[in-house]
Amino acid sequence: MTSTLPKPTASNPMAHTFAGLQVGAGGHDEVFEYVTGFAASSAVAIVLGGDAGGTLEGVGVGDVAQRLAEVFGVRKADAARLLGVSESTVSRQSRPSVDVLDRTLTASEVFASVAAVLGPDGARIWFRTPSAVLGGHAPLDLLPTRTGEKQVQSVVEALLNGAFL
């Protein structure tokens, strides 16, 4: 599922192209839109309002899981776990819940932040590689829980501030 991606551009050395979108500093909106087909700002309003309602017509959890799997370079089952849903929920193509949208927003933001430093291919490797800083766990294994998510975000923040991890 992974592909060789173009190098950062001269005008934006921190940006990387992924599936036709720019991933760089602040690129989480673009990643989220690629994964869901909806603007991140709309999803934030839905998550804060607590009702996905009819605003997500045409997108299923399976679609979100498939595209998230493509972004992270993992199996669809791994993306389902990241979204906090079962494989059967993914296969039913039900409408994404508020929790799934919230998790997708977080995953998009974290991926874009790491990709801004390491590039998309480097980010994919980083998320799957166990880290001593994370107690020997791979970041992708910790993201499905809120506690693990906080640990990963702390490490990502250090990475963005120039730490070599």
Stated pTM of the model: 0.75
Of 128 and 45, the structure prediction assigns the larger pLDDT to 128
- Alpha-carbon gap, residue 91 to 105, rounded angstroms: 21
Q: Where are the domains of the chain?
A: 17-160
Q: How confident is the model at residue 144 (pLDDT cuts 50, 70, 90)?
A: very high
Averaged pLDDT, 75-87:
94
> Maximum CA pair distance of the chain?
45
Decide if pLDDT at 92 tops 50: yes
Measured in degrees and rounded to the nearest 5, phi and psi for residue 23 equal -120, 115
Which ranges of 14-145 does DSSP label H, i.e. alpha helix?
A: 28-36, 40-49, 61-72, 76-83, 87-92, 98-128, 139-142
CA 89 → CA 14, 36, 53, 94, distances in Å? 36, 16, 18, 7
